[in-house]
Structure 1
């Protein structure tokens, strides 16, 4: 309850712009937590190439949510459990399965980066709103009402600070997660080349 009380005080000080800043912050950090958890689990549960080949030979599905495992499962599902032993057809089916996993790897990353970029803009909007309120007070009472002027300036500073506090760690962590996701994607392409080479050998037998 104390946290909610403090948040309400910040909203009262910073004005209505604080509400979308809080909403953006909650959305941003929710996506960051989900993506970070996915990256951590994926990095720990990488499917070895040898195990993938064994599963392809046996036609057994792989009980894992890693991109490698999901790509192999999708490939076998497209083959209806039996490979065509046609080199070009198998390559196309494997490429389609890999491309499908690319979308899952990059999921949430663009949204995280966009939300981190939106937060300081909302803070800037609050800054402008606070300064407009300050000039309105100056226009009505002149420079004599320091307390009324301070209210508008305080609103401007609080919203700017809130927007930056959301944006700076959000942009940093978003870029780290983007780099991790790109590494996973590159690893998946290397894995694809290994599977393609194995499929070519199988087609020659």
Structure 2
């Protein structure tokens, strides 16, 4: 309850721009939590190349939810047991399975980067709004009403601070998650080359 009261006080002091800043912050950190959890689970649940080959030989679906396993499962589902009848078709099907997982790997990353970039712009908008109010007071009362001037300046400073507090850690964590996702994607491409080589040898037998 006290937290809600403090948030309401910030909105009263910072003005209406604080509401979209809070909404952007909640959306941003929600997506960061989801993506960080996915990256952590993917690192723990990754299957090896040998395990993937066992799945392909036996035709059994892997219980793992890692990109590697999902690509193998998707390939086996679309292949329908016709593997080695057409090597080129197999490669195309597996490439499609890999591309499908590549989209899932980058999920949320662009949105996180955009939201982190939007936050300081909202803070800047609040700064301009607060300074406009300050100049209005100066225009009406001159420099004699310090309390009214302070209200506009306080609004400008609080919105700027709030925008930066959301943006700085958001951009940093967003870039870390982007790097992690790119590493997972590169690993998936290496995994693809290994499976394609195995398919070539398997179909020659």
Partner Cα separation in structure 2 for residue 84 and residue 77 of structure 1: 15
Number of matched pairs: 205
Runs of 4+ in 1 over 2 A off after TM superposition: none
TM-score (norm 1): 0.99
How large is the RMSD of aligned CA atoms in angstroms?
Answer: 0.7
Partner Cα separation in structure 2 for residue 81 and residue 161 of structure 1: 60
| 1:139-177 deviation per Cα after TM superposition (whole angstroms, max 9, x unaligned) | 000000000000000000000000000000000000000
Alignment of structure 1 residues 104-143 onto 2, 5 Å: 104-143=104-143
Which residues of structure 1 form unaligned runs of 5+? Answer: none
Asked if structure 2 preserves the Cα contact closer than 8 Å seen for 1:76 and 1:82, the reply is no
**CA positional deviation for 1:85:** 3.3
Partner Cα separation in structure 1 for residue 192 and residue 41 of structure 2: 20
Q: Secondary structure at the match of 1:107?
A: coil
Asked if structure 1 preserves the Cα contact closer than 8 Å seen for 2:17 and 2:125, the reply is yes
Which residues of structure 2 form unaligned runs of 5+? Answer: none
Partner Cα separation in structure 2 for residue 150 and residue 180 of structure 1: 45
Partner Cα separation in structure 1 for residue 81 and residue 3 of structure 2: 55
Aligned partner of 1:163 in structure 2 is 163
Q: Secondary structure at the match of 1:24?
A: helix
Partner Cα separation in structure 2 for residue 81 and residue 39 of structure 1: 32
Aligned partner of 1:33 in structure 2 is 33
Residue 190 (structure 2) pairs with residue 195 (structure 1): no
